[in-house]
A and B are shown apart, each in its own frame.
Chain A
Amino acid sequence: MATQTMTMAKALNEGLRAAMEKNKKVLIMGEDVGKLGGVFRITDGLQKDFGEDRVIDAPLAESAIVGTAVGLAIRGYRTVCEIQFDGFVYPAFDQIVSQVAKLRKRSDGVYTMGLVIRIPFQGGIGAIEHHSESPEAYFAHTAGLRVVSCSTPNDAYWMIQQSIEHDDPIIFCEPKSRYWEKGEVNLDQPPNGLFDAVVRREGTDVTVVGYGSTVKTALRAADTAAQEGLSLEVIDARSLAPLDLETMAASLTKTGRLVVVQEAPHTASVGSEIVAALSERCFYSLRAPGVRVSGYHVPYPPTRIEEDYRPSVDRVLDAVDRVMGFDS
């Protein structure tokens, strides 16, 4: 088994490289993805190796980037669109919701929309306005789109490749605050299916579900909770649409308590959907209502107070206390 330790950013870079080597119809398009290699260096060196025809520097026009990818998808190309920051995806929202999500259905399956829209999402890097948002619910809500998020370098390496190979459009959410964290990447085989949730840590008292950046937050909370005598089971949702409810329900039937951790505000969020769906499935096993630890219902705050907005280990533990308190 060939493994290599690398950052998530490097893993994405290697994953993109592998996909481009495997399939000549894989293209990359986005702002500064070519010569600069992307603001986060995810596409670093790819234009040099694959040429300007396959790694395309686009104008600052997200609608055009995604719209062009729609036409390319109809002609059999698989374009990986880079949206530079989460807060810049909205100009492309109409293309994504009105065209990307619907063309396969509209054409009765004649066209597939094999394209990937990479969005560095969530906050935590001390960036300015528009650079730290969590827009995943807009897309998870839209039928015809699939939304996934990686939380480890290994997942990043494989999920980007699995997304590119998939015939449906994938909104690929990358937790930008975890880009520089290193982890082992197995270069031989993918760890899971693209739409599978994964139990990152087994436990018995509370099921904690996170995705993207909050998986590590949940794992750190589990470490602290263990010192306090509580056993948290941490699940990485990985796929936000569709949700792997089977894996989550199996855990919740065991623990009877649910905490979902996300950076997005919790009103009409993916976390809300997880709590609602699992409440339906596991009603008779629940020992407490499902609790969401989320961003607050305000625009993403300035850098200096963003750590008070993002779910912290403290806030996860508070939620754990709440669900433990219902029948203790």
Chain B
Amino acid sequence: MSEQVFLLPDVGEGLVEAEIVAWKVNVGDVVTLNQPLVDIETAKATVELPSPYAGTVVTLHGNVGDVMEVHKPLITFEVGGVASSATTVAADAPPISTPSVEKREAVLVGYGVTNEEGVATRTRRRQGTSARVIPPTSSAPVAATAPRSTPPVRLYAKQHGLDIATLTGTGRDGLVTRHDVDQALSGAPATSPVRVVAVPTGPTSTSRFVGRDLEPWATGPKEERFAVKGVLRSMADAMTQSAFSAPHAAVWMRVDVTRTMELLTSLKGRPALGATKLSPLTIVALAFCDAARHYPGINSSFDAANGEVVVRRRVNLGIAADTPRGLIVPNIKDADQLDLVAMAQAQAVLVEKARAGTTTPNEMIGTTLTITNVGPFGVDAAMPILPPGTGAILAVGRFAKAPWVVDDEVVVRYVTELAMSFDHRQVDGALASRVLAHVARFLEDPAAALLVG
């Protein structure tokens, strides 16, 4: 006599569980082979299970209404005579016995799914050498992001025994570069892992660029792009055209402008001026025009298309103006015809219209000579690029006190620096030098120059 456990079978189409609907036998009953034992309900149907044994019922492993798992005990029998070879029987006992198949759980379709409960253990040896040990990195402090680098640099650092996480990247966005590894290898302090960098916040005010307010360094985006249009495009086109067509050359000199300053002081507040204000630039403009009258060749342009040089006996004097929209260069028409007061008034009108943005296109074409005044920015000189189609452009630096030699004595005088770029295709160095020297003489003694007219 022996006990046999009847496991709930998968009734043919793959199931995980079944509910006991009705027992047809009781404990102690003697059953025959294939006698109906129980009605079970599955997801598919209600099925009557026949007995695989002849024997006595010892245990019913569930009550009516219980949901039983497939392949778990349903009934235990006591059987006489020769026991079947297995101590447990299920109707669909798998015919093959590889480990993976034995682990399968019955499902609706197919032979079943493999059991995936509990923690899996490796069933295969690690690949590679058995000596290799993987360091448990999770116990180490973990950076919010992996150090950024390229694979070749990582290999390079590894080959030299450096942990790349300890390096301070100096490349773009903190990229650890080959140079950083080299620095670390040479012991340079820049790559010390304990280096603390105090990040300056920078100014918080905006600044002007291409006719707009730029965000402060600290709070603005890391990179910004602006469309090239409007005033910016005009400037870019004009400068590109000029720089790559007119061969530029320049002459410059320092000038004692003390008498110019004295003249301006002596004329200040005179009733004849009315509301007109005089500035050093007014005198410079008169001087430049006077130079053109003496050396008309400077008031010229190079007409490459027609193979001609054009000389004009009228000066349209361009004034480079820093406006809210950017750099524009309107001109004073027939500036050579203007006296001191008229020149001052014309300049005032020009600057006002430029700042207000009411300069008309007509006021920006036909320039023959140009003045750019960099003095207000506190610099001494500039090397300007010609507006296209003009012969020369004069840059005027700041008017500042400086040591100056007068009669072999060093004295304090107002001094400025003049720099003039010219189109070397038609203007040569000799002419340019004469023109600039003429301007300088004018500024050194403006009263005499005005007297001469």
* Pair A328/B135 contact, Cβ less than 8 Å: yes
- Flag whether A118 is at the interface (Cβ < 8 A): no
- Flag whether B121 is at the interface (Cβ < 8 A): yes
- Flag whether B122 is at the interface (Cβ < 8 A): yes
**How many residues of chain A are within 8 Å of chain B by beta carbon?**
51
Q: Which residue of B lies closest to A120 (CB)?
A: B109
Nearest-CB distance from B119 to chain A (Å)?
Answer: 5
- Flag whether B221 is at the interface (Cβ < 8 A): no
* Pair B124/A227 contact, Cβ less than 8 Å: no
- Flag whether B274 is at the interface (Cβ < 8 A): no
User: Within 8 Å CB of B107, what residues of A?
Assistant: 125, 177, 179-180
Nearest-CB distance from A14 to chain B (Å)?
Answer: 15
Known A-B contacts A216-B116, A223-B119, A321-B128; A131 and B109 likewise in contact (beta carbons under 8 Å)? yes
* Pair B120/A220 contact, Cβ less than 8 Å: yes
When chains A and B are docked, how far (Å) is the Cα of A126 from the Cα of B14?
A: 10
Interface set, chain B 132-148, CB cutoff 8 A to A: 132, 134-139, 142, 144-148
When chains A and B are docked, how far (Å) is the Cα of A220 from the Cα of B110?
A: 24
Nearest-CB distance from B46 to chain A (Å)?
Answer: 15
Q: Mark A230-269, 1 if CB is under 8 A from B, else 0.
A: 1100000000000000000000011110000000000000
* Pair A327/B134 contact, Cβ less than 8 Å: no
Known A-B contacts A314-B123, A321-B134; A125 and B109 likewise in contact (beta carbons under 8 Å)? yes
Among B104, B123, B139, B146, the residue within 8 A (CB) of A287 is: B146
Known A-B contacts A284-B149, A304-B101; A313 and B120 likewise in contact (beta carbons under 8 Å)? yes
Q: Which residue of A lies closest to B142 (CB)?
A: A204
- Flag whether A58 is at the interface (Cβ < 8 A): no
Among A124, A230, A325, the residue within 8 A (CB) of B136 is: A230
When chains A and B are docked, how far (Å) is the Cα of A51 from the Cα of B317?
A: 91
* Pair B110/A254 contact, Cβ less than 8 Å: no
Residue of B101, B113, B132 contacting most chain A CB atoms (<10 Å): B113
- Flag whether A196 is at the interface (Cβ < 8 A): no
Q: Which residue of B lies closest to A44 (CB)?
A: B43
- Flag whether A205 is at the interface (Cβ < 8 A): yes
Q: A127-B110, A224-B121, A287-B146 are in contact. List 9 more A-B contacts (CB 8 A).
A: A220-B120, A255-B146, A284-B149, A303-B111, A307-B100, A314-B123, A318-B126, A321-B128, A327-B158
A interface list, Cβ under 8 A from B: 39-41, 44, 124-128, 131, 176-177, 179-180, 203-205, 216-217, 220-221, 223-224, 227-231, 253-256, 283-287, 303-304, 307, 313-314, 317-318, 321-322, 324-328
